[in-house]
């Protein structure tokens, strides 16, 4: 891992967004890149769908050949 990546890892290795998705009350568009090396996109999709009460609020799109940066903020 390049040293420039250390600050990101140190800041985020304990972050779990699961609690943010429980009882979701607004629509969510989840964009995932199939070349993402930072997160498991299928685990992320599965967890979000399982913990969200209202499945009609979720739309998941997996973008072909996109990385974490391509679909990030």
- Taking only the tens place, the pLDDT of each residue in 38-67 is 888 999 888 888 887 777 888 889 999 999
Domain map (residue ranges) of the chain: 16-71
The band of 72, judged by pLDDT with boundaries at 50, 70 and 90, is low
Q: Is the pTM of this model over 0.85?
A: no
CA–CA separation, 63 and 10 (whole Å) = 27
List, in order, residues 6 or more apart from 46 with CB less than 8 Å away. Answer: none
- Average pLDDT of span 5-30: 81
17 pLDDT higher than 80:
no
Task: Tally Cβ neighbours within 10 Å of residue 24.
Answer: 16
């Amino acid at each position: 891992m390049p040293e420039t990546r250390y600050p990101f890892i140190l800041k985020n290795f304990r972050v779990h967004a699961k609690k943010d998705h429980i009882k979701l009350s607004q629509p969510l568009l989840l964009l995932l890149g199939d070349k993402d090396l930072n997160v498991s996109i299928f685990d992320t999709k599965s967890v979000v769908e399982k913990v969200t009460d209202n499945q009609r609020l979720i739309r998941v799109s997996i973008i072909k050949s996109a990385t974490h940066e391509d679909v990030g903020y």
